[in-house]
Amino acid sequence: MELFWYIVLMTMLAVYVILDGYDFGAGIIHLFFAKSEKDKKAITNAIGPFWDANEVWLIAAGGVLFFAFPTLYASSFSGFYLPLIMILWLLIFRATGLELRGQIHNKMWETIWDKAFGVSSLLLALFFGIALGNVVRGVNLGMVENGVSTQEAHYFFLPLWNTTFSPQAEHLGIIDWFTILLGLVAVVTLTIHGANWIIFKTNSSLNTKLKKIIFNLNFVLLALVIISLLVWHVIEPKPFHNFLKNPWLFLFPIITFTGLFGLFKVKSFKKEGLGFLFSSLFLFGGLTSTVASIFPKVLPSTNAVNPSLTLYNVAAHEYGLSVGVYWFVIAVILVAAYMVIQYKVFKGKMDNVGYGEH
């Protein structure tokens, strides 16, 4: 049952990143490339009916984490308290920017909330990438100092950064050169993803320019991915051991690079949804490849005193996990019906939706 709920949790997180990821990317495009009022409205129209529903997947994933893996929930929410609070405020600030922007037709007012929406989207993409970097790198479980555990084996707490800015220090921080690298990968990836969504859902005058931006950013993304794979050996001496032991897992990196190399053809796509499909493949493949590389760990330990947290030593009791399956089936049916109806109602181009206008 632990494996079932682990797959459910990872699936929810992947769906969240793909769906809310295009919202973050659209916000970044809005911040840097949307100059005219018409282009800004096209971008907000493209995500307007979807962004709040997309965030439900994050809440649902948090609920599954709390129910199925309570020890991991307690450990991560205390240890990552600072960045989680910052992410919460950024989500609120971003939503406020979207909702308040059209309340008053004043240039200064609109500019303030445009920046709030764009900057929050940029920082959220960065912070979620940094969060992934922390999971890959691991944390000092038990707060070990000089070979002695000073706290319970599953407890840790991280400041935003340490003085060395190193991912190999005894006293780690949330931000170091490795987690920043993965944060940059996330920013570039979601910018591409958001641009593909805008192309898919609008007839904006930006679309031709966005295809060029996607093509150029894809070279940056390829370089960052290669650098990330190379430096991964600094963090984990055998980062690909799971793939070598189970060759079928190479399916996930294949999906990743299919999405990445497919995006180089973005200028020639006749169907505008193909770009979004390829960026979604890259996101899905990248996340599943990362998960597969550390499995069964869910939060690696950077010390030799306390063991890593795995899906088996953080899971709830077998009885609770079994009972939860029945409620999960009901929830899946309701969510699937909602998503199908929502995307059917708002299918096609969104230029004339008029989201946020008053």
Report the alpha-carbon distance of residue 254 to residue 182 in Å, rounded.
20
Question: Is residue 351 pLDDT above 80, yes or no?
Answer: no
pLDDT band at 328 (very low <50, low <70, confident <90, very high): confident
The answer, yes or no, to whether residue 146 has pLDDT greater than 60, is yes
Mean pLDDT of 330-343: 85
**Residue-wise burial string across 35-54, b where 16 or more C-beta atoms lie within 10 A, e elsewhere:** eeeebbbbbbbbbbbbbeeb
Cα 316 from Cα 179, distance rounded (Å): 30
pLDDT band at 185 (very low <50, low <70, confident <90, very high): very high
Answer yes or no: are the C-beta atoms of 152 and 94 closer than 8 Å. Answer: no
- pLDDT computed for residue 18 by the predictor: 94
pLDDT-based confidence at residue 358 (cuts at 50, 70, 90) = low
What is the reported pLDDT for 10? 92
pLDDT for the residue numbered 1: 81
Q: Which residues contact 241 (CB under 8 A, 6 or more apart)?
A: none
Name the 3-class secondary structure at 148. Answer: strand
Per-residue pLDDT tens over the stretch 8-67: 999 999 999 999 999 999 999 999 888 888 888 888 888 888 888 888 888 888 888 988
Least confident of 1-10, 161-170, 250-259, 345-354: 345-354
- Mean pLDDT is lowest, of 140-149, 241-250, 287-296, for 140-149
Whether omega for the bond prior to residue 296 falls within 30 degrees of 0, making it cis, is yes
336 class by beta-carbon count within 10 Å (0-12 exposed, 13-18 middle, 19+ buried): exposed
User: According to the model, what pLDDT value does residue 3 have?
Assistant: 87
SS3 content of the chain, % helix, strand, coil (to 5): 70, 5, 25
Amino acid (one-letter) located at 351 = D
* Burial tier of 295 (Cβ tally within 10 Å: 0-12, 13-18, 19+): middle
User: In the structure encoding, which two tokens stand for residue 154, read together?
Assistant: 């599953």
Decide the pairing of beta strands 297-299 and 144-145.
Answer: unpaired
Structure-token match 């916000």, residue found: 27
Q: Is the pLDDT of residue 355 over 80?
A: no
pLDDT at 230 over 60: yes
Give the residue from 102, 108, 114 showing the smallest Cα distance to 26: 114
Between 187 and 103, the more confident residue is 187
At residue 103, does pLDDT exceed 80? Answer: no
Q: At residue 357, does pLDDT exceed 70?
A: no
**Per-chain mean pLDDT for the chain:** 88
3-state secondary structure at position 348: coil
Residue in this structure with the two tokens 């009916």, named with its chain if needed: 49
Q: Which of 240, 337, 246 is CA-nearest to residue 290?
A: 240
Q: What pLDDT score was predicted for residue 354? A: 66
Residue 295, sorted as left (phi over 0), alpha (psi -120 to 50) or beta, turns out to be beta
Question: Which has more confidence, 53 or 210?
Answer: 210
Confidence at residue 252, expressed as pLDDT on a 0 to 100 scale:
94
Whole-number Å distance between alpha carbons of 332 and 348: 25
| Chain segment 188-207, per-residue pLDDT in tens | 999 999 999 999 988 878 88
